[in-house]
Amino acid sequence: MDIVRFNNIHKIYKMGSQDVNALNGISVSFQKGSFWAIMGPSGSGKSTMMNILGCLDRPTRGQYFLEDKDVSILSDDSLSDIRLRYIGFIFQSFNLIPQLTVQKNIELPLYYLGWEAHRSSEKAAELAAKVGLEERLNHRPAELSGGQLQRVAIARALAAEPHIILADEPTGNLDSHTGIQIMELLAELNRQGSTILMVTHEPDIAAFARNRLHMKDGLVEGIEGN
């Protein structure tokens, strides 16, 4: 079953008076339970692709079906709701809120889902244990190492039990050893059933994914994998 289907997606940015074509008609679909690496040199359109996949941005033309729902036409509020319920983000620079503790950071999506305090703190503890940070719940991001920060981010991405996990260069700010640990964690999540779409430009990181999509100049250049 296709969880994501792009139908001739175009994205044109206006840079001053000039139009920049970031995506030039992408038609691709990702299956539920898959693990994709989206690869390509800078300027190939993979960040734009990521933003549209994550419902942070809307395509200029074309349709984006998320579980057969056309999300390319939704309002800002509805897109917020899609992000909240369907998508878990993992960023290169972690993007944790520095003044909140690990627990509060993990709970953030649950807060917007309107969960009661005791239920969300149970869930946060459970997720922290899953990523190996049960001892760090009351720490603040500044007290953690890079690898630990990314684990918190992963726990937060999992909190609302999203349908897709979007990872944007998840190891970009980590040393290679820690990077491999994070990738092993993601691979494990995928084995447990999570759909993961990851943007990276490093081939050895992309090797953890089961499928690879190569992009160039806003177009799909090739697909490989099983």
Q: Which is nearer to another protein, 65 or 112 (CB)?
A: 112
- The least CB distance from residue 194 to another protein, in Å, is 17
Nearer to another protein, 168 or 220 (CB): 168
CA 36 to chain centre: 11
* Binding-residue total with another protein (CB under 8 A): 28
Q: Does 76 bind another protein (CB under 8 A)?
A: yes
Among 40, 45, 54, 179, binds another protein (CB under 8 A): 54
Range 56-59 contact pairs with CB under 8 angstroms and sequence separation of 24 or more = 56/83, 57/11, 59/9, 59/10, 59/11, 59/23
Strands 61-66 and 69-70: antiparallel
Phi, psi of 73 (to 5 degrees): -115, 10
The distance of closest approach from Cβ of residue 188 to another protein in the complex, given in angstroms and rounded to an integer, is 23
Helix (H) or strand (E) holding 222: strand 219-225
Which of 53, 41, 129, 120 shows the shortest CA–CA distance to 90?
A: 53
Please report, as residue ranges, which positions from 12 to 41 form the binding site for another protein (by CB under 8 A).
none
Rg of the chain taking only CA atoms, in angstroms: 17
Ranges within 116-135 binding another protein (CB under 8 A): 116-117
Residue type, 149: L
64 is a site residue for another protein (CB under 8 A): no
- Contacting another protein (CB under 8 A), which of 19, 111, 129, 223? 111
At position 45, the amino acid (one-letter code) is G
Residues 146-185 vs another protein: string with x where CB under 8 A? ----------x---x-------------------------
Of 71, 89, 170, 196, the residue at the interface with another protein (CB under 8 A) is 89
- Can you tell me the distance from the alpha carbon of 12 to that of 18, in angstroms, rounded to the nearest whole number? 10
Residues in contact with another protein by CB under 8 A are: 51, 54, 56-57, 76-77, 80-85, 87, 89, 91, 95-97, 99, 108-109, 111-112, 114, 116-117, 156, 160
